[in-house]
Structure 1
Amino acid sequence: MDTTAAPLVPEWLSVPAEPAALDPAVWTDSFRREEDGELAIDGRRVSELVREFGTPLYAYSEDTFRSRARAFRESFREAFAAQGAEVSVYYAGKAFLCSAVVRWAEEEGLNLDTASGGELRLALAAGLPPARIALHGNNKSEAEVRRALQHGVGRIVADSVPELLLIDRVAGELGVSAPVMIRVTPGVHAETHDFIATAHEDQKFGLSLAEGTARLAEGQLGEALRVEVAPTAADSAAMLAGLAAAALPHVDLRGVHCHIGSQIFGPEGFELAARRVLAFMAELSRRAEAPLPEVDLGGGYGIGYVAGERPRPASEIAEALAGTIAAACAEAGMEVPHLSIEPGRAITGPAGATLYTVGTIKDVAVEDEHGRTQVRRYVSVDGGMSDNARPVLYGSQYTVTLAGRSPAGEQVLCRVVGKHCESGDIVVHHCYLPADLRAGDVLAVAATGAYCWSLASNYNYLPRPAVVATSAAQAPRVIVRGETEDDLLARDAGL
């Protein structure tokens, strides 16, 4: 596209030749147009959903969630069965979690990764067997560790030496052995936003694989354990923690965990991280004189948010990673371990869409870099940064479409904005919408099933929207109740 004629338009955006078309890289098969052009989700017209549940509304396809969960489970198990290894798929609950989602994940054969005591409590309350739950986080409280051990979770991912010591102490008090994995940072900087990249050195997660970093944590061991571990000057912080975990009396060291970031499309970062982690595991096993049966390579697989993004299918990811791990294990002289992965966004993101009602519409004159005046249409909706914080946090881009009727006709450059008292309250930075768009129309923003409800707030005292599940097999139903103003006022101790 020639952007000199329309410099306000990013390279990836073009005037749609078929405004009603839904890009399959962004919209799943659960989202289709009816003959009259109205959007339907799992066969349920948007107008029906809005009439029954109102807007803003998180519309969430159970069918998409289940099909994507199944694709990851089946693809990875098939790919690694050829290597003689087993696979566990942990759904990363931080992306979106409620009791219905816990049950869907369990029924599709997935385990669950939790990142706090609250997520752990929800998983237990929803009836998920504790052995299928992992507890994550970089600053677990004693209460969170105690709850996990009392209920018998399948594993705790330790993020630091002090946390290892805490886990060992609490496990000793309870008279149990704590199943632990060590989280490491392999130094791989994936092609993603710095705030969601989690494997380079200068960040809060995990223990470094870099040589000589053991000295940064050595003093936390205590004299007796330091003598037993006997670290060398060349050891990494990860090696120090791994040897300590193997020596602690109430810790059962299961393996190593890493996660290089989120919203990653290319395979290179995952492959490099896998090789580094597996080489580290082989060395740790040798020095600890004990085999480590498991490795967890996290998640971070990207999804399509806008035109031009082409996420890899689960089968392609699984086949590529299986080949890399098999080769790396052969080089390290070790058996292919039990593999775990933790897709969150890749399962739940495409399952969700947010429905909004259009309010104020106005055209704004914008001077471009060549001194020419361009027009951008601002379309205000009845939600915003309180129900989707990702654009203001990360500059995230989204795809939007007119949902309540056919989007045919002339298309104009628009920006969809929220109703909050912030100039940065932008829902969709760049889009084309019909020139005849009017107040009362319903818009659908795609791929909002991950990190939208989870990050939602009550800024400006807006109640958080409901989450409604759709399925071809049953009627739409509320799976998370929307808040009311009375709910918000009930928390004010002065009223």
Structure 2
Amino acid sequence: MALTLPARPDPLTLPAHPDPLADGLHASGLLHELAHGLDSPFHYLLPERFDANLAAFRAALADTGVDGHVYYAKKANKASVFVERCAEAGAGVDVASLGELRDALGHGVRGEDLVVTGPAKSGHLLRVAVRQGSLIAVDAPDELRRLLDLGAGRPARVLLRRHPPNQPRSRFGLDDAQLGRALRDCADAGDLVRMEGFSFHLSGYDTRPRTDLAGELVELCLKARTLGLPADRISIGGGFAVDYVDAAAWESFLAEQRPGHYHADKAFGTGDFYPYHSPVAGADALRAVLAGSPGGTGPALAERLRQAGVTLLLEPGRALLDRAGSSVFRVQGVKDRAGYGIVTVDGTSLSLSEQWFNSEYLPEPRLLPAPGAGTAGSPYPACVGGASCLDSDLLTWRKVPFPARPRVGDLLVYPNTAGYQMDSNESPFHELPLPPKVVVDRPGDGSRYRWRLDR
């Protein structure tokens, strides 16, 4: 009896939002020149987009009359150019290691414009942070004790990080009892510490939990002031979503995707994916946080901040990098399989971090044919593999419907990868070079694009 195989579903498409700036760069021919000159995959960066995103967050604060300060979460991308833009704009930087702190200082960010986050900070990091006048988010009782014992010659500027009640499994922050003791310790420490307020770290992207917990931190500031502590600021961290794709395309993708859409019938649950469409994203998400009423009653958060004289700090990473860069790979080979192909590129999935979290980077790559090759051909569904000996090294498991069969020398451009995708898990596996980062500037006189290596 013949075995009947299940019908293969039609390929699913999920393109990123249209991006005229990126389209102009792709049409200029510069990416092919860079691929030839660098002889490796590379990432291109568009710092003007970072500038615009930073300005949008600042406008959200100004429009609501909230005194605030934006810190760029450096962990989202290791490139120096974004830190340099912070220094030029007077923005802050959120760092979580001694290396990140040194890099920010070395690119012109003042010590007092740094906030040091992360758990169980080393003694060396704490010492340098205090001496530089950086703000330190204290995550545990022993961390506060080590700060008080440092004797670094100036008061330690601290925020006490609150353990989120609605995320009881979070490993971050001080619970109620620990927070009470920490407040008393700060009050008793005199000039050794300047307790400037509170912070929290929340997983997820919902705005309501941020509004609610921020309202609680405002009340904690008022309580701390009765102990003689300054307590005039709160940090709500990051977690501002990025909107990568169209709503209808995203809903259709989630409803239709199944193992047959992927190489080797790999199965993904819809909960495995980043929410690539978000109806409220970036600076608009901040506006939603400020417009909400903590606990669902009373004045909006913005009004409570103004009434209490509390400054709002925020630490966006991905949202400041929205459309600020993409990743470029060169096609090295194409293998035909039954009903689809396997494209192999000159890099690995270690340069697209989502694949290493049992997930998939879903905004699909754009095919840029080699100069003079043209785009003639019929649609060709294909997954994208890396140039390694690992069977699981797939940049894209999904069978993407390319407009034509890719050819050796063509480029695949993965859009909008600056936020966390480019370098979170990069590795020179097989001694392949790490993709360099190329900063692309568009001169105001309309002449050709200019580029430089980031480091």
Q: Shorter-chain-normalised TM-score: which range?
A: 0.7 to 0.9
Using the alignment, how far apart are the partners of 2:180 and 2:332 within structure 1?
57
Deviation at 1:302, TM superposition (A): 1.7
What letter is aligned with 1:401? R
Using the alignment, how far apart are the partners of 1:350 and 1:260 within structure 2?
24
Deviation at 1:331, TM superposition (A): 7.6
Between 1:382-391 and 1:87-96, the stretch displaced more is: 382-391
Q: 1:292 aligns with which of 213, 231, 244?
A: 231
Q: 1:393 aligns with which of 336, 353, 357?
A: 357
Change (3 A) 1:110 1:330: closer
Q: Which residue of 1 aligns with 2:165?
A: 187
* Offset from partner CA, 1:344-371 (integer Å, 9 cap, x none): 1111242111100112222345xxxxxx
Change (3 A) 1:109 1:394: farther
Q: Which residue of 2 aligns with 1:241?
A: 182
Q: 2:31 aligns with which of 46, 51, 66?
A: 46
Deviation at 1:285, TM superposition (A): 4.2
What letter is aligned with 1:322? L
Q: Which residue of 1 aligns with 2:380?
A: 412
Change (3 A) 1:331 1:90: closer
- Within the alignment, does 1:270 sit opposite 2:255 as a pair? no
- Within the alignment, does 1:159 sit opposite 2:132 as a pair? no
Equivalent residues of 1:278, 1:329 under 8 A apart:
no
Using the alignment, how far apart are the partners of 1:382 and 1:144 within structure 2?
38
Using the alignment, how far apart are the partners of 1:100 and 1:71 within structure 2?
19
Q: Which residue of 2 aligns with 1:191?
A: none
SS of residue in 1 equivalent to 2:213: helix
Q: Which residue of 1 aligns with 2:296?
A: none
SS of residue in 1 equivalent to 2:426: coil
The root-mean-square deviation of aligned C-alpha atoms, in Å, is 2.7
Q: 2:417 aligns with which of 448, 451, 455?
A: 448
Using the alignment, how far apart are the partners of 2:180 and 2:239 within structure 1?
25
SS of residue in 2 equivalent to 1:174: coil
Q: Which residue of 2 aligns with 1:437?
A: 406
Q: Which residue of 2 aligns with 1:460?
A: 430
Identity value in percent: 25
What letter is aligned with 1:242? L
Q: Which residue of 1 aligns with 2:201?
A: 259
Q: Which residue of 1 aligns with 2:68?
A: 87
Equivalent residues of 2:215, 2:304 under 8 A apart:
no
Q: Which residue of 2 aligns with 1:488?
A: none
Equivalent residues of 1:116, 1:144 under 8 A apart:
yes
Q: 2:171 aligns with which of 199, 204, 209?
A: 204
Deviation at 1:292, TM superposition (A): 1.6
Using the alignment, how far apart are the partners of 2:351 and 2:377 within structure 1?
30
Q: Which residue of 2 aligns with 1:485?
A: none
SS of residue in 1 equivalent to 2:336: strand
Equivalent residues of 1:89, 1:110 under 8 A apart:
yes
Using the alignment, how far apart are the partners of 2:33 and 2:172 within structure 1?
44
Gaps of 5+ in 2: 1-5, 251-275, 294-298, 444-448
Change (3 A) 1:377 1:166: same
Deviation at 1:313, TM superposition (A): 4.6
Deviation at 1:8, TM superposition (A): 7.7
SS of residue in 1 equivalent to 2:196: strand
TM-score (normalised: structure 2):
0.80
Between 1:340-349 and 1:273-282, the stretch displaced more is: 273-282
TM-score (normalised: structure 1):
0.74
Aligned residues: 404
Using the alignment, how far apart are the partners of 1:435 and 1:44 within structure 2?
19
Residues 221-236 of structure 1: pairs in structure 2 closer than 5 A: none
* Offset from partner CA, 1:220-262 (integer Å, 9 cap, x none): xxxxxxxxxxxxxxxxx33333333333331111111112125
Deviation at 1:442, TM superposition (A): 0.5
Equivalent residues of 1:384, 1:420 under 8 A apart:
yes
Using the alignment, how far apart are the partners of 2:180 and 2:307 within structure 1?
18
Gaps of 5+ in 1: 17-21, 189-199, 215-236, 366-374, 481-495
Q: Which residue of 1 aligns with 2:241?
A: 302
Change (3 A) 1:333 1:294: closer
Equivalent residues of 1:28, 1:351 under 8 A apart:
no
Equivalent residues of 2:43, 2:435 under 8 A apart:
yes
SS of residue in 1 equivalent to 2:202: coil
Q: 1:402 aligns with which of 367, 392, 397?
A: 367
